[in-house]
């Protein structure tokens, strides 16, 4: 069993709990996910099984989120699960919000939330925050392709659509947007609706997947490594080069490939692994035992 499963994560369950349950359902040890969802969030959780776990690092697709922001209140976690630490009577209108959203587009320097898994001096930020310790988190570069306010839910709550790079914190966007508008803000609802080409029509509830496992039909909803990594250029090689690659040896390859590009190396029958173009040669990075 080697491939990807795209689960529709429900509220009030951690991404780790989903992994634990799938490990038990499938009776498999090698399993991992690409991109954690907070317990209160829902939507697409990308899970790799078996040899596909070796491809998690290379699954760096843009993600699309639909989320609601409440203005006029600050939560310590920057989301609905936290405790209120500040309030403001200032509630922006949609025109003011739209003007601010333009400032987020493109390469964006973002500080992750204090309640996040980011490490600060070797310790998780959320553990430091829970201990009421003072600390600062270094900003990091993320890329925001699109950010729009699409609906007014009520006087203080608005709905947004975001397309961004991996590693972007939606809670930080809400927090920063509130600051720009002279007030406070937090995320009240959050759903991941797309990763790369994977959309909501491609996902399955955990309970439904378990039902399919019991009757042996779950393979129909799994995605191959090739399907998931279709954004990486592929190189077709013969059996002789395949054996060389599997043994950790580079091979010469002359083509219009940028240096340090990751490449999906395959034969006519199966995927062999992931290589990297270095000085006219393809060097093995990961080898799949399929």
Catalytic center residues:
38
Rounded Cα distance, 283 and 276, in Å: 5
Contact 77, 39 (CB under 8 A): no
Closest alpha carbon to 135 in 150, 143, 149, 124? 124
Rounded Cα distance, 110 and 129, in Å: 18
Beta strands 262-266 and 234-236 are parallel
State the SS3 of 262-281.
EEEEECCCCEEEEEEEECCE
Distance of alpha carbon 53 from its chain centroid, rounded? 15
Closest alpha carbon to 241 in 201, 210, 207, 281? 281
Contact 24, 31 (CB under 8 A): no
């Amino acid at each position: 069993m080697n491939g990807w499963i795209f689960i529709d994560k429900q509220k009030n369950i951690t991404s780790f709990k989903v992994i634990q349950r799938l490990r038990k359902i499938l009776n498999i040890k090698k399993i991992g996910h690409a991109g954690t969802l907070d317990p209160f969030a829902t939507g697409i959780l990308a899970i790799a099984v078996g040899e596909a776990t070796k491809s998690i690092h290379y699954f760096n697709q843009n993600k699309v989120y639909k989320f609601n922001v409440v203005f006029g209140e600050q939560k310590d976690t920057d989301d609905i699960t936290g405790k209120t630490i500040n309030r403001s009577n200032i509630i922006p209108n949609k025109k003011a919000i739209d003007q601010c959203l333009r400032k987020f587009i493109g390469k964006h320097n973002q500080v992750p939330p204090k309640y996040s898994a980011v490490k600060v001096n070797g310790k998780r930020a959320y553990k430091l925050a829970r201990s009421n310790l003072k600390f600062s988190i270094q900003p990091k570069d993320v890329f925001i392709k699109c950010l729009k306010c699409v609906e007014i839910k009520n006087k203080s709550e608005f709905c947004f659509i975001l397309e961004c790079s991996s590693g972007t914190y939606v809670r930080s966007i809400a927090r920063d947007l509130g600051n720009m508008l002279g007030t406070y803000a937090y995320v009240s609802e959050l759903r991941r609706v797309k990763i790369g080409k994977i959309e909501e029509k491609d996902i399955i509830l955990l309970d439904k997947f378990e039902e399919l496992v019991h009757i042996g039909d779950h393979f129909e909803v799994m995605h191959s490594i090739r399907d998931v990594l279709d954004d990486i250029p592929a190189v077709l090689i013969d059996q002789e080069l395949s054996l060389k690659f599997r043994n950790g040896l580079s091979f010469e390859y002359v083509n219009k490939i940028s240096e340090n590009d990751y490449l999906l190396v395959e034969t006519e029958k199966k995927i062999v692994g992931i290589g990297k173009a270095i000085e006219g040669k393809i060097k093995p990075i990961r080898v799949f035992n399929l």
